[in-house]
Amino acid sequence: MAANLTVRQQLGKRLTEGGMIVAPGIYDAYGARMVQQAGFEAVYMTGNGVSACLLGQPDVGLVDLTLFAAHAHRAAACVNIPLICDADTGYGNAVNVWHTVREYESAGVAAIHIEDQVAPKRCGHLPGSRPVVAMEEHVGKIEAAVAARRDPDFIIIARTDAAGGLGLDEAIRRGQAYRKAGADVVFVELKNSPTILDDLKRVTSETDAPCLVNIDGGGKLGELTVPEIEALGFRLAIFPGLARNAAGFAIKNALGTLKRDGNTAAVRDRMLTSKEYNEVLGLDGVEQWEKRFLLNRQ
């Protein structure tokens, strides 16, 4: 990405130029650093993962704006790639959305998505359909989000969860309406089904906007490669479960080994060394800074 552009401008430019953007999902600043070091050009902070990280609870609307924005600020501050964040339902009505946008902007976030679920929301991949508000109500919230931003490059992503309960036709209709309301990107949440590939093609072909797809879990959707997703017409793909599921599996495995063996020798080759861990955190840079500025330079 061009060095003279802000991270928001970089993301906005890439939404219409070049290949599809891949944003692996993380839930903390440590994960954000790892995504950047792996060479990805954007990172996604998942509400599901943040709820697990901060509260140890499922994603059922328990994380509020203050918790999420402060957490996002720490992640955005330690990377120089765009951070895209889940903003749930905007944490209230159109007035709350105004405050939500301002808080995420101040946190250094590049983009947020706001969904049309009824509050309190539930993760789109938990069992059952999701009740949604009237389309007109969410149109007003998207309009409020667009009007609230002080930086015109701050990206508003409109998400609809209408497909599960009201059908794909209604979800696409809502996506079109949210685009007209000023959304920069449209996100139609879909669950795996026998028709998922045809559904995805309909979303991109019938929506006059860059489209985001959520690749979370297995099934046909989880088996698609990045080129295959891009061929369906998407401009942005998020992988929300990547860090939380990979880390959870590894931690559970290491704990089981310690409980069984009394040490972690059997899984040591699947754990970072101290050197590798410190490299992720940039310890060398801190030490160089100490040599430049501390009185007891060595």
What whole-number distance in Å separates Cα of residue 57 and Cα of residue 181? 34
Residues with active-site annotation: 44, 59, 86, 88, 113, 115, 123, 159, 189, 214
